[in-house]
Amino acid sequence: MVLSEGACFLVLEREELARSRGARVYAEVLGGTSSCDARGLYHFDETGEAGARAIHRLLERTGVTVDQIDYVCAHANSSPAFDRKEALVLKRAFGEFAAKIPVSSIKGVLGHPFGASGAFQTAAAALAMQHSLIPPTHNLEDPDPECDLDLVIGEPRPATIRHALITSYGYGGVNAYLLLRNSNL
């Protein structure tokens, strides 16, 4: 893990107001959710069930189905335990579709700015939607066999992204998920 620092901000407003003033709308926030699977500062639920339940609640609330997720902008901070947890949560949440959803992380380029991570990930996912291009995970040369997802590595991948899921994890078992919709499709 490479630590970094930085700041990122996003303007959130009702779509009709943004469009009425001629603003470029990058994405629509459909909803977010969180859960906690704490077992201590560095230990968490090894089944992935708490995170998967949170994702299921988010999808149910927004009316989006697992097969409509076109991209996961992963937390993926390169900590083996957290990366395995994240892969397990995605597999439990998406079942057979988990292997078909492209997953990447911007931290290979950005580093891990801790508190600013979610904002940077949200901006990256919104830009990926706008450019129809999934950013690759850089500096990933030997993926963990337990992280057997559709990892986008090395080169950007062209894709139409209707919905993107942003995942964030923190010490002490904090899990957060944000769902975006491409407002231009």
pLDDT of residue 43: 66
The pTM (predicted TM-score) of the whole model is 0.92
In this structure, whether the domain defined by 28-181 belongs to CATH 3.40.47.10 is answered with yes
- Residue 165 in contact with residue 59, Cβ under 8 Å? no
For tokens 């959130």, the residue is 12
Q: Tens of pLDDT along 46-91?
A: 788 999 999 999 999 999 999 999 999 998 877 777 788 889 999 9
Q: Tens of pLDDT along 137-169?
A: 988 888 888 889 999 998 999 999 999 999 998
Q: Residue 115: which residues within 8 A CB-CB, separation 6 or more? A: none
> Which residue intervals of 27-79 are DSSP H helices?
49-62
The two tokens of residue 110 are: 């950005």
- Domain boundaries along the sequence of the chain: 28-181
Least Cα distance to 146 among 84, 97, 104 occurs for 84
Tally Cβ neighbours within 10 Å of residue 65: 11
